[in-house]
Amino acid sequence: MNILHIVPYFYPAWSYGGTPKVVFELCRELARKGHNITVYTTDVFDKNKRLDIKRGEGPGCQEAEVDGIKVKYFKNISNRIAFNQKVFLSPGMAIAFKKNLHHFDMVHLHEFRTLQNAAAYFYLTRYKIPYILSAHGSVLRIMGKEFLKGLFDISIGFKILKSIKRAVAVSRIEVGQYINMGVPEDKISLIPHGIDLSEFKNAEQLKGKFRGRYGLSDKKIILFIGRLNPIKGIDFLLNTFAILSREDKDTILVIAGPDDGYKKEIKKLIDLFNMNRRFLLIDGLYGEDKIAALVDADIFVYPSRHEIFGITPLEAIACQTPIVITENCGIADFLREVDGGIMVGYQDISQLLKAMRNILNNREDAKNMALRGKELIRRDFNWDSISEKTIGLYRSILQEN
């Protein structure tokens, strides 16, 4: 099959969160299985830099082949607007749609309210190319800019949703979101995200590296890794840790992630609680550094107020680190079935405090819980099985078309 994926950010723009990582890993697995996979994306990298590959078909477009994936990085007009406002302006991509879209068997759109999707929709309908949508949690009008999101929906968004062959949901939470936006349930396919377990096969060899680097050899580490954004519930974690730190003098809270508009608020809370000596803020952890932190952590906490899935908690489990997540995380339903983590109510400080105490005081039970979660990942969240489900979805749509 000849499949085009359209996504605003892609490998190696990890500062934009989990979407570029999961899209990359899916495309890599599809390419490994012999499918012709092309990605149209922009040249964004992080808040301050953009990619510079210096190879391409002409001005405004750079090309690369990454693990068998053909990637075209189109110039984004403003790197600052892209990172701060999540608006990606890439006129060259629209020109490429007109020129090349009809060469593909199917198109897989990622994210929902993007100018790239709006431009693609025009040519998808003109050329009668079937397409599916993975919204990655972006389909509801929540977490700010509700008026602008409403304008997008009225002008083009509802048209995109009406014409899709399938909407791909990664959890039951996202299934409900699509239904709330008017997508019929029989047009929704539940296919979760996955992680590449091969990245963690040498995780134990990194044990002690993170502690040694930051002088934490004698501390109990509570860890959060993710974008510094209000949606992640970091204030909930800080409020709870302020209580835990008073009763357990050996604990330290580590928060690691790129600033997504919330770093100043985090620092204000740290000053308010007078926790500077019990707190470590790191701009971001990637690759081996991230795995080292996950291996060394005593607890990984994901306190999100709204999360359709949650990749990093799965990565923590892959490192056999016990996790605590909120009920609002999409993976909660999966982990609950095997007792693979502790779920708490968002903003329920007493529940989160009890969960962290239980893990710190019952290490053997916590270890067994993490092992049950890891077995679930091996069985249901590996890219081999997830890519097979995706291929099956593509084939069924092409047969319908």
Predicted local confidence at residue 57, as pLDDT: 53
Least Cα distance to 234 among 269, 258, 210 occurs for 269
Least Cα distance to 357 among 246, 275, 244, 255 occurs for 244
Least Cα distance to 40 among 19, 78, 15, 10 occurs for 10
Helix axes 383-400, 18-32, angle to 10 degrees: 80
> Which residue would you say has higher pLDDT here, 341 or 276?
341
Least Cα distance to 101 among 72, 77, 138, 63 occurs for 72
Predicted local confidence at residue 79, as pLDDT: 86
Predicted local confidence at residue 174, as pLDDT: 95
Least Cα distance to 91 among 66, 124, 58 occurs for 58
- Mean pLDDT throughout 356-365? 95
Statement: residue 123 has pLDDT above 80: yes
Q: What is the pTM of this model?
A: 0.87
Predicted local confidence at residue 206, as pLDDT: 95
- The contacts of residue 136 (CB under 8 Å, 6+ apart) are 18, 19, 22, 110, 111, 112, 170, 308
Q: What is the rounded CA–CA span in Å between residue 215 and residue 255?
A: 16
pLDDT level of residue 15 (50, 70, 90 thresholds) = confident
Predicted local confidence at residue 144, as pLDDT: 74
Predicted local confidence at residue 86, as pLDDT: 85
Handedness of CA 163, 166, 172, 173 (dihedral sign): negative
| pLDDT tens-digit map of 238-252 | 999 999 999 888 999
Predicted local confidence at residue 59, as pLDDT: 57
Predicted local confidence at residue 56, as pLDDT: 56
Helix axes 311-318, 363-380, angle to 10 degrees: 110
- Mean pLDDT throughout 54-82? 84
Predicted local confidence at residue 55, as pLDDT: 64
- Mean pLDDT throughout 360-375? 94
CA 186, chain centre distance (Å): 25
- Mean pLDDT throughout 94-105? 94
Q: What is the mean pLDDT of the chain?
A: 92
Measured CA to CA in angstroms, residue 216 lies from 121, 203, 384 at distances of: 52, 18, 37
Predicted local confidence at residue 48, as pLDDT: 85
Contact 73, 66 (CB under 8 A): no
- Mean pLDDT throughout 374-379? 91
pLDDT level of residue 273 (50, 70, 90 thresholds) = confident
Predicted local confidence at residue 145, as pLDDT: 82
| pLDDT tens-digit map of 203-249 | 999 999 999 999 999 899 999 999 999 999 999 999 999 999 998 88
- Give the chain's domains with CATH numbers: 2-194+382-400 (3.40.50.2000), 197-380 (3.40.50.2000)
The alpha carbon torsion through 8, 12, 15, 18 (nearest 10 deg) reads 70
Sheet with 323-326, strands from edge to edge, namely 279-282, 251-256, 220-225, 299-302, 323-326, 342-344
